[in-house]
Copies of this chain bind each other. A is one copy, B any other.
Amino acid sequence: MQEKSQHAAVKKFSQIKAHILDRIESGEWDVNQKIPSENELAAQFQVSRMTARRAVQELTEQDVLIRTQGLGTFVADTKTQSSLLEIKNIADEINDRGHMHSSTQVALSTIDAIPPVAIALGVEEYSPVFHSILIHHQNNVPIQLEERFVNPGIAPQYIDQDFNDITPHEYLSRVAPLTEAKHSVEAIQSNKQQSDWLNIDMKQPCLQLLRRTWSNQGVVSFARLIYPGSRYKLGGHLTFHTSQKIKMKG
């Protein structure tokens, strides 16, 4: 069965990025500590210097590292973080961390909108809406259960898609560019069905993120995203929030 799809293979430079991030997040490499040079990384990972350089370069652009010509590369101070949690889509988040994202479509159908769904979507109660369920994996481990209700008036072709090829978020962004989104986060206990899909024990604590998205035509979709508490933290990583930074010369 070919239900599974890999939206991206893990590139060499991504592996090196992930390795560097791991060392930093584990505390093995402290702030201001010098990290291996491009040549050392290249030798260690059996890649060319240019490939190692790319990994280091991209992390530098994200303010994770600081480089000085002639001196070396150092772990950046983490101070420039905001008190805002950035909610990104799961595929980008996984890829940004240098891991492999894949997803499995579990269901895709038209259902009658029960009142809470109808209210969230702004449609008539018991009118038909699209309903999809996907499981997202990081390195083949389930990390998010995505249940989504979609307004058929705004994305009428949603039902004809194959979400093994493209994520619902990606598809919806394409057909109805987002103008607004609202989130809420809470802790819940997984039920039997959810535990099965996420491959965790029953009644484990999970993060539940509810998201409503708008385009200029109205509410596009209402999604319930469930993450196993043991495998996911929201905002535990650097929120590089392209701020206009003052650069100081030391």
Chain A residues proximal to chain B, CB less than 8 Å = 27, 61-62, 77-88, 119, 177-189, 203-207, 210-211, 214, 227, 229, 232-242, 244
Contact = CB atoms under 8 A, between A and B. Distances in A.
Contacts of A236: 181-186, 210-211
A183 B85 contact: yes
Given A83-B86, A85-B87, A186 B207 contact: yes
B184 A84 contact: no
Contacts of A242: 62, 244
A21 to B, nearest CB: 15
- Residue among A62, A85, A86 having the largest count of chain B Cβ atoms under 10 Å: A85
Contacts of A181: 81-83, 236, 238
Nearest to A216: B79
Give the copy number.
Answer: 2
A187 B188 CA distance: 8
A66 to B, nearest CB: 12
Nearest to A226: B187
Contact of A182 (B62, B81, B187, B214): B81
A181 B81 CA distance: 7
B82 A185 contact: no
Given A184-B235, A234-B185, A87 B83 contact: yes
Nearest to A181: B83
- Residue among A177, A186, A229, A234 having the largest count of chain B Cβ atoms under 10 Å: A186
A184 B79 contact: no
A214 B240 CA distance: 13
Contacts of A84: 82, 84-87, 239, 241
Given A188-B205, A188-B229, 6 more contacts: A81-B182, A83-B182, A184-B235, A185-B185, A187-B187, A203-B203
